[in-house]
Amino acid sequence: MAFSVDIQAIEGYISFIEEITGITVPDVDYRNLMETVERKASSRGCAREEYLRVLRNDALERENFLNCITIGETYFFREWKHFRVLKEALFPEFRELAARVLFWSATCATGEEAYSLALFASEFLGLPFIVYATDINGDSLARMKERRYGPNSFREDGRAYYDVVLRNAVLEGKTVVISRDIEKNISPLRINLFSGSLDELPDGIDIIFFRNTLIYMKPEAKLKVIGRLVKKLRQGGYLFLGSSETPLVEHSELALQETDGVYYFIRTVRVP
């Protein structure tokens, strides 16, 4: 039997989440949202309507609540062709510049994307590098720091590069534990891309992966977040979105580029 949700009861929460994160909660997640609100309200000993006021006034409660409702679906080497473009087209270009390379996995969830970047750079780049790994969800970042990944973090898409993971990890039963040598290149930060400060991140980032998050945003929110990311990207730096998200983005400082059927953006050089 289909579960029906009283949308009126959660409308205020849907708007609140959109206002803080830019994310429009998809219909399929209404049930989770309703259950989370009821559970949290009851543990605070307040009514569902009143809990919204608690969220507005209590930063820690807000953080814990957002940790429960964000969607952290991810796995190693997701959209593996993006990584092939790094290795075959962009890493050779970076080697000519011979400078430290700054990567940013902008919504890293539990870290599979950030580790994929660090694993790849460590094996194929040949230059010092840092991967900034950011997400709004502090619980996900804490899981990333544990470096432990089960079978769900490895899917068919991505299989081409699983040997790279295994060369840099140990197996404990069905759990893959990524080596500390890879982790030391990762800088995790809890950051809200939509309405938080980006000051902890350096300017002049070379490669941003911001994938599979824009799909949950309305056009105005997309525009705002892309604008904030572009400011952090160096001129001539690259931005990768999820392949279904790329056609939805237009920005005056981004030019679409294609390599072997993979589309991504380069930040164009501004003429003074």
Ligand X SMILES: C[S@@+](CC[C@H](N)C(=O)[O-])C[C@H]1O[C@@H](n2cnc3c(N)ncnc32)[C@H](O)[C@@H]1O
- Binding residues (CB under 6 A) for ligand X: these are 21-23, 70-74, 78, 107, 109, 113, 135-137, 140, 191-194, 211-213
Pick the closer one to ligand X by CB: 125 or 208.
Answer: 208
Q: How far is the CB of 41 from ligand X (least distance, A)?
A: 22
Minimal distance in Å, beta carbon 272 to ligand X? 32
Element (H, E) at 114: helix 112-124
For ligand X, the closer CB: 36 or 137: 137
CB of 67 to ligand X, least distance (A): 8
Look at phi and psi of residue 126 and say left if phi exceeds 0, alpha if psi is from -120 to 50, else beta: left
Sequence-distant (≥ 6) Cβ neighbours of residue 39 within 8 angstroms: none
Closer to ligand X by Cβ: residue 59 or 98: 59
**48 vs 62 by CB, closer to ligand X:** 62
Is residue 86 within 8 A of residue 46, CB to CB? The reply is: no
Q: Are 116 and 76 in contact (CB under 8 A)?
A: yes
CA distance 80 to 72: 18
Minimum CB distance to ligand X smaller for 36 or for 74: 74
Shortest distance (Å) from residue 18 CB to ligand X: 10
Q: Tell me how far apart the alpha carbons of residues 272 and 206 are, in angstroms, rounded to a whole number.
A: 21
Question: What is the smallest separation between the CB atom of 221 and ligand X, expressed in angstroms?
Answer: 9
* CB of 86 closer than 8 Å to CB of 76: no
